[in-house]
Chains A and B, each alone.
Chain A
């Protein structure tokens, strides 16, 4: 339960603990936010805002409510979606491209030939269309199971099991 100790320290306003958490999650948060706003500078700014917000709202988090990563992921998605709804954003991004996370990953140059990066690229290229859509909606866009089932016209139960299979494939690739 090392994470719980870390989170506890973070809630006690410990900078070092926060820095560790930041190191663990910032790239993921940036990825999620970037996938929504499709702009590096805006994603940078949003990610900072998200972590600052988490810092100030630290006492509202409880492990009973879910994983710490899930909590901060939620803050990030909400902030990014709010951003896309802002007037300024809409004006600057008339034609937001509809790339899924898979397209973004596939377009990245493999600067770091880490096993992770290779694994994920493999995963993405082999991933079925339905897996792409389910992961996109549930993890990146923050759709509920019900919303995803309506969007993809699949029964709710199917969403759940399909998602399980897709994540299982991902785990096989990267873990």
Chain B
């Protein structure tokens, strides 16, 4: 290698300035050991820079100014690390805690809302059922109203008899389709083991004909029952009979009775 070219490149000046990489520094260190001319060059550069930099100093204190500190610091080296508060770390932790709390809260909210939703769903279903029921009821009632308003209908009020004076019922008889609609709301619920039996009567002579028992009386809502009747009825009566009904009416248990006003 050409020592002069190397020197002329200016790399040694940068070496003294401390502006080379670690690798370059080590290379030069090796070269300096091999080439005294290079070392001399470095020493000259350093000497010149030393003088220049020293010339800038207005004055410099002597070694005495630091000597005391050497011994003091020798026995006990305390690295004074300023107690810096690690704000980034603190903020980080605070943020994570806030986030965790937030997540927990959201989770709770979610569970609550899901429960509310379920309750609402159930209520909704219940209401839908009620609406459906109301619609069915309404349809039935309208149907009934139509029946009662029919011009061919004969209304027969059935008055309370004997001990059962407070009982009453009403029969709407459509002779056109041989159907009676019995409104039995004025009758009490049939006791256990007993059942209401409806009779069609002809008066002269008094002949009862069973129109059947009302087995679903107690559970029926509007207490209106549709019963087929092809007889030339002159009166209608209702008796309380043992379960299954009787062949003839038990007159002691005749609750209501009504005569058809005028034969059509």
List chain A positions with a Cβ less than 8 A from chain B.
13, 15, 18-19, 22-32, 34-35, 40, 43-44, 47-48, 51-52, 55-56, 63-67, 69-71, 73-74, 101, 104-105, 108, 116-117, 119-121, 123, 135, 138-140, 142-145, 160-161, 163-164, 167, 170-171, 174-175
Which residue of the partner chain A has the closest CB to B42?
Answer: A67
Between-chain CB contacts (< 8 Å), 15 pairs: A30-B54, A31-B60, A32-B53, A44-B60, A64-B25, A66-B15, A66-B18, A67-B18, A67-B46, A70-B46, A101-B56, A116-B55, A119-B51, A140-B56, A160-B13
Contact, CB under 8 Å: A35 / B56: yes
Apart from A22-B63, A27-B57, 14 more pairs, CB < 8 Å: A15-B67, A19-B67, A26-B60, A28-B49, A32-B56, A35-B53, A48-B66, A69-B49, A70-B18, A105-B56, A120-B51, A142-B18, A164-B9, A164-B13
Taking CB atoms, residues of chain B closer than 8 Å to A47 are: 60-61
Query: Shortest distance in angstroms between B264's beta carbon and chain A's nearest beta carbon?
Result: 116
Quick one: which of A13, A34, A55, A163 contacts B57, CB cutoff 8 A? A34
Query: Shortest distance in angstroms between A72's beta carbon and chain B's nearest beta carbon?
Result: 10
Question: Are A13 and B74 also in contact (CB < 8 A) when A31-B55, A108-B58 are?
Answer: yes
Contact, CB under 8 Å: B10 / A164: yes
How many residues from B make CB contacts under 8 Å with A? 44
Write out, one digit per residue, whether chain B residues 179-195 have a CB within 8 A of any chain A CB (1) or not (0): 00000000000000000
Query: Shortest distance in angstroms between A135's beta carbon and chain B's nearest beta carbon?
Result: 7
Write out, one digit per residue, whether chain B residues 35-51 have a CB within 8 A of any chain A CB (1) or not (0): 00000001011111111
Contact, CB under 8 Å: B17 / A139: yes
Contact, CB under 8 Å: A175 / B25: no
Decide if B16 is an interface residue (CB 8 Å cutoff): yes
Quick one: which of A138, A164, A174 contacts B51, CB cutoff 8 A? A174
Contact, CB under 8 Å: B63 / A19: yes
Contact, CB under 8 Å: B63 / A120: no
Contact, CB under 8 Å: B66 / A30: no
Decide if B133 is an interface residue (CB 8 Å cutoff): no
| A108 vs B58: C-alpha distance when bound (angstroms) | 7
Taking CB atoms, residues of chain B closer than 8 Å to A138 are: 13-14, 17, 19
Interface residues of B in 110-128 (CB under 8 A from A): none
